[in-house]
């Protein structure tokens, strides 16, 4: 009797959590200047007809995690017109979806947690190379501007794109920022897009040191512990631009199909001074994973670790051609995980 009562309480609590997730249908997205206050994005991009679908998924998570990982991801892809077929894993996206379903997400949770990433950096590299944290908060009521410098960032640790820039504290709209953060804190990022490594992060808010206004991102794509490609992203004259290079810094014939970012046709990006150090850090940080992307900044000749991600663009990015997707897929060897899964 106690067992059934216990399961009922667990399912009830999980259901309440889902209802909180969907309480606010839209969240406000801030751009780097913290000025675009009318740019909204859908909180839950899935084409859900009722909460019952998600309650069923949570029930499945409690009863059979492996089945939940598979069925949840299949549902997410089907909602976008994608077909997932484990018997024909050719493209980069297909193989990443396989890893998401069959690699243990628990081993990745403390790495994608934006705060606990610092501990991982210390354990692997012997030092914390992330931007300094100024304060950590459990809720927005704890945020005190008097304790913060004139410039800083407010972030959440449990997802992606949850960043608010403060460039002038005297003009900073804290109350509006709090509303946005409350909405972010109501999101279970792992359930929203079925990216399971984010499911069980203990949600926190933190203030981070403001580094510079315009940061160039160096994103190393590491396949089986070896960095093979680096995507460089920056902003020039108000436009987001990028290039993808082979690890020897020659331009790769790989291009995204979407128009949010443009290729850097004039080759404005220069190889960073600490490029070889970034490569070495990437190898060390990803040695235990089939795929991981490692993101760095270089500021005043110093390397900063931004994040590690196992599911770039939630594996939904389109490239200019199928050949590009297959080329990337050929770089990724998932036989170790497939053999382990076959032996179960």
Longest dimension (CA), the chain: 70
Averaged pLDDT for residues 184-190 = 89
* pTM > 0.95: yes or no: no
Residues 6+ apart with CB under 8 A from 49: none
The answer to whether position 157 is within a domain reads: yes
Higher pLDDT, 314 or 28: 314
The answer to whether position 120 is within a domain reads: yes
The answer to whether position 92 is within a domain reads: no
Q: How many other C-beta atoms are found inside a 10 Å radius of the C-beta of residue 238?
A: 5
195-235: per-residue pLDDT in tens? 899 989 999 999 999 999 889 999 999 999 999 999 999 87
Find the distance separating the first CA and the last CA of the chain, reported in whole Å: 32
User: In the chain, how many domains are there?
Assistant: 2
| Whole-number pLDDT of residue 146 | 96
The answer to whether position 90 is within a domain reads: no
Q: How long is the chain?
A: 344
Averaged pLDDT for residues 10-36 = 37
| Whole-number pLDDT of residue 36 | 29
98-142: per-residue pLDDT in tens? 999 888 888 899 999 999 999 999 999 999 999 999 999 999 999
Q: How many other C-beta atoms are found inside a 10 Å radius of the C-beta of residue 252?
A: 17
Q: From 146, 178, 209, give the residue that closes a domain.
A: 209
Task: Name the DSSP class of 262.
Answer: E
| One domain, residues 275 and 182 | no
Q: With 70 as the cut, is the pLDDT of residue 181 above it?
A: yes
The answer to whether position 73 is within a domain reads: no
Higher pLDDT, 339 or 26: 339
The torsion angle over the Cα atoms of residues 17, 194, 119 and 160, rounded to 10 degrees, is: -90
Residues 6+ apart with CB under 8 A from 182: 140
Answer for the pair 225, 245: CB distance below 8 angstroms, yes or no. Answer: no
31-73: per-residue pLDDT in tens? 222 222 222 222 333 334 435 666 677 677 767 777 778 887 8
The answer to whether position 152 is within a domain reads: yes
Q: What is the C-alpha to C-alpha distance for residues 258 and 294, in angstroms, rounded to an integer?
A: 22
The answer to whether position 75 is within a domain reads: no
| Whole-number pLDDT of residue 54 | 64
What's 281's domain CATH number? 3.30.470
The answer to whether position 29 is within a domain reads: yes
Q: What is the C-alpha to C-alpha distance for residues 309 and 291, in angstroms, rounded to an integer?
A: 9
| Whole-number pLDDT of residue 75 | 77
For 163, list phi and psi in degrees, rounded to 5. Answer: -135, 135
| One domain, residues 224 and 258 | yes
The domain of 132 spans: 2-63+103-209
């Amino acid at each position: 009797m106690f067992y059934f009562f216990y399961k009922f309480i667990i399912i009830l609590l999980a259901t309440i959590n889902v209802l909180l997730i969907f309480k606010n249908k839209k969240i406000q997205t801030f751009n780097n200047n913290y000025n675009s206050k009318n740019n909204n994005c859908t909180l839950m991009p899935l084409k859900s007809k009722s909460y019952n679908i998600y309650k069923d998924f949570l029930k499945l998570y409690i009863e059979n995690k492996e089945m939940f990982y598979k069925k949840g991801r299949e549902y997410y892809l089907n909602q976008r017109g994608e077909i997932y077929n484990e018997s024909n894993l050719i493209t980069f996206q297909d193989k990443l979806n396989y890893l998401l379903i069959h690699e243990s997400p628990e081993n990745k949770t403390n790495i994608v947690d934006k705060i606990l990433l610092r501990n991982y950096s210390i354990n692997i590299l012997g030092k914390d190379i992330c931007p300094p944290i100024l304060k950590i908060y459990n809720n927005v009521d704890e945020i005190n501007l008097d304790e913060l410098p004139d410039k800083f960032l407010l972030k959440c640790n449990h997802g992606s794109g949850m960043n608010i820039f403060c460039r002038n504290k005297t003009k900073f709209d804290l109350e509006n920022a709090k509303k946005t953060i409350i909405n972010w804190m109501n999101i279970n990022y792992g359930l929203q897009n079925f990216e399971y490594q984010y499911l069980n992060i203990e949600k926190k808010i933190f203030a981070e040191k403001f580094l510079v206004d315009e940061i160039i991102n160096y994103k190393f794509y590491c396949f089986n512990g070896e960095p093979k490609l680096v995507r460089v992203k920056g902003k020039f004259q108000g436009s987001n631009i990028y290039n993808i290079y082979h690890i020897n810094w020659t331009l790769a014939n790989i291009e995204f199909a979407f128009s949010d970012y443009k290729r850097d046709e004039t080759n404005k990006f220069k190889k960073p001074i600490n490029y070889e150090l970034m490569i070495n850090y990437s190898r060390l940080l990803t040695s235990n994973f089939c795929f991981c992307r490692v993101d760095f900044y270089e500021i005043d000749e110093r390397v900063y670790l931004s994040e590690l991600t196992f599911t770039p663009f939630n594996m939904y990015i389109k490239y200019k051609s199928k050949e590009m997707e297959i080329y990337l897929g050929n770089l990724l060897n998932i036989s170790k995980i497939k053999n382990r899964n076959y032996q179960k």
